[in-house]
Structure 1
Amino acid sequence: MRFIDLRSDTVTKPTEEMRKAMYEAEVGDDGYGEDPTVNLLEQKAAELLGKEAGLFVVSGTMGNQVALLTWTRPGDEVILESESHIYYYEAGGMAGNSGVQPFLIDGEEGVMPIEEIEKAIRPKGRVFPKTSLIVLENTHNRAGGKVLPLEYMKEVYEISRKHDIPIHLDGARIFNAAIYLGIPAKEIAKYADSVMFCLSKGLSCPMGSVLVGSKEFIEEARRKRQRLGGGLRQAGVVAACGIVALERMIDRLVEDHEKAQNLYNFLKDIEIFSVKKPDTNILKVRIKINKKAREFLEEFKKYGLLATSFDDETLRFVTHKDVSFEDIEKAKEIIYKVWESIS
């Protein structure tokens, strides 16, 4: 059986152009700064996001963890939204790697109230931890791929300047946010001091992310990457995919958003579900009856549809390049069958 895989955009396969680029990639030892393909990817990524320098890392989690290590010291405090990826899905890395504690703020669809952010900043004093970083996530995964408003990011940035606290943006899907807003990604990134974005999600690379920021920040981040075991050698073979992704795969993300909108238009009329209109390529679907998410997932799988869940009451569907518009129509048929059988 061929499965329609809507679990995540991480399941995307590299394109033929990427595979060819991997084969032909010019390589060197990145540990010595001598891999020309890695260097080119880092340069292109930095320019695209309006920053001075970039650092190729093996994953988005590594990029976020390197940023935390670079901006903070053990015992510091980091302000972040209570369902952010760094807090929720990175295996306790902020505590285990950086020795910092989170100050969690409940957000509305990923948006922390401005007044709560400023209130969370610790006063100076011997009994308080130092507030050393504010973290934003755009798009916000657990909020259903929601895009942070640009004006909101500007307001947070102004607070950060007022208190001399840097901002790190977990921009794993920043290009989805840019497509939604109709602006270049650098217009989002300018309201953060460092940005991590993933190559391995909607951009379809087999692995990798890039962390960007000032030259000084990236120089120290490179040392922190080494601490995490992320020193690379002939990494040009995978960095080559990233170059193709930045040149070819960003504009096509609009198709993923259209697929998600198509699926939303179907799901919103199913009475057992409550679904929020997607900004991007992630659908968050709440179950309104006394059935657990895993029960739906098991039934979907029987018919050839793969999805995942945020929790027992909430399903998640993610569109991407390897799911066609025809696949979306088939997915709708499967969901309808399961709905009928449950009803």
Structure 2
Amino acid sequence: MTATLPDPTRPRVLADLRSDTVTTPTPEMREAMAQAPVGDDVYGEDPTVNALQAEAARLTGFEAGLFMPSGTMTNQVAIALHTRRGEEVICAEGSHIYEWELGMMAAFSGVVPRFVPAPLGVPDPEAVRLAVRRSVHQSPTGMISLEDTHNKAGGTVIPLDVLAAIRDVANEEGLPLHLDGARVFNAAAAQGVPVSEITRHFGTVSICLSKGLGAPVGSVLLGSAAAMKQAHRYRKMLGGGMRQAGVLAAAGLLALRDGPARLQGDHRRTRRLAEALLEAGYSVNLAAVQTNILYVTLPDAAAQVSRWAEAGVLASALGPDSVRFVLHHQVGDEALEEAIRVLTA
């Protein structure tokens, strides 16, 4: 077998801060994946997938869960579960289900978004109430969806009292309430509460295993047993039947068990990076630095990101003047200090 030599022309990566999705499986995850008992998950016969779904449901306080390839799929299956064609989905401005899921709510479920303002990613409960539509002249409201943490707002957290107030609005209006909880464990860590203190307010919740928790693949949709039975059909329609998926679910189980304890370190390092960049003269809104995501405003973002990449620090240009950094467990204190040296040079 011929060894692959390193490319000497490629810059050494000091820190990959593009996203928390870039993490690679830990040695423990790889071992668990290699040893995982498997079966046909489309038939519900994969014991490792079943264990993952049960563990996710236990942690979040739901009857059942359903393992899927991505958070986009779990969110879109939830929308299909809760709505009928021609309805609206109330969501915070900048929500992932609209910004980054390629119009799938319209393409798959035949529904459209109704945005409410969300300063720092937090909608006002009264604004949510006022967004409900009942008139025969308008598309009726089918559901309410929240995102916690809110990616585009900077990884910000919805306070527990706001969640409870929006839950009351949903109950009073007779509307289902869904949580895009891709990083809900970050929200729980930031508030010092069990994740179930957040998820208990919702009828369905999507959690992502491949972001801060560190698994290589997968998300879980959570809800009632009856809802997950129907969700299984939508997953199949979207091509999400993965057969012997226990090799992936095994890593997800370790992510659920070990990942949450690492999140506070990610948050601490994100704050350290934010303060260093602010001190160096960058435009940083410290009020939005609550978890593991940091946005910086600067001119010609793409060009600056390219220059940093040549020096070994990777970030994401998400607009002409916006750069996103995301911390994760594979960027430790030493790597972060090297990154800060590059970014503030």
TM-score relative to the length of structure 1: 0.95
Pick aligned residue for 2:150 from 140, 158, 161: 140
2: distance between equivalents of 1:110 and 1:143?
Answer: 5
Structure 1 contact 267–275 (Cα < 8 Å) conserved? no
Q: Decide which of 165, 186, 189 is 2:199's aligned counterpart.
A: 189
Matching residue's letter, 2:214: S
Residue ranges of structure 2 left out of the alignment (5+ in a row): 1-10
Q: Which amino acid aligns with 1:324?
A: G
Q: Which residue of 2 aligns with 1:267?
A: 277
| 8 A contact 2:16–2:314 mirrored in 1 | yes
Partner of 1:208: 218
Contact 2:133 2:140 in 1 (8 A): yes
Select the residue among 89, 95, 102 that pairs with 2:106.
95
Q: 2:165 aligns with which of 149, 152, 155?
A: 155
Q: 1:283–1:316: 8 Å Cα contact kept in structure 2?
A: yes
Partner of 1:6 in structure 2? Answer: 17
- Give yes or no for the alignment of 1:76 onto 2:87: yes
Structure 1 gaps of 5+ residues are 338-343
Distance in 2, Cα, partners of 1:270 & 1:81: 32
Separation in 2 of the partners of 1:206 and 1:245? 9
The whole-number CA distance in structure 2 between the counterparts of 1:279 and 1:313 is 21
Query: Given the alignment, which residue of 329, 336, 340 partners 1:328?
Result: 336
Contact 1:122 1:131 in 2 (8 A): yes
Higher mean alpha-carbon deviation, 186-195 vs 245-254, is at 245-254
Whether 2:75 is the aligned partner of 1:67: answer no
Q: CA deviation at 1:275?
A: 3.4
CA RMSD of aligned residues (A): 1.1
Paired letter, 1:26: P
3-state SS of the aligned residue for 1:97?
Answer: helix
Does residue 248 in structure 1 map to residue 262 in structure 2?
A: no
Amino acid at match of 2:245: A
CA distance in 1, matches of 2:97, 2:148: 12
1:96-124 per-position Cα deviation (integer Å, ceiling 9, x unaligned): 1111011111210111222211111112x
- Is residue 308 of structure 2 the alignment partner of residue 300 of structure 1? yes
Q: 2:58 aligns with which of 47, 71, 75?
A: 47
2: distance between equivalents of 1:175 and 1:87?
A: 22
Output the TM-score relative to the length of structure 2.
0.94
Poorly superposed stretches of 4+, deviation over 3 Å: none
Alignment of 1:282-321 (within 5 A): 282-287=293-298, 291-321=299-329
The percent of aligned pairs where both chains have the same amino acid is 46
1:309 Cα deviation after fit: 2.5
Note the alpha carbon deviations across 1:252-291, whole angstroms, 9 max, x for none: 111111110111121121224233241100011122xxx2
8 Å CA contact retained: 1:281, 1:318? yes
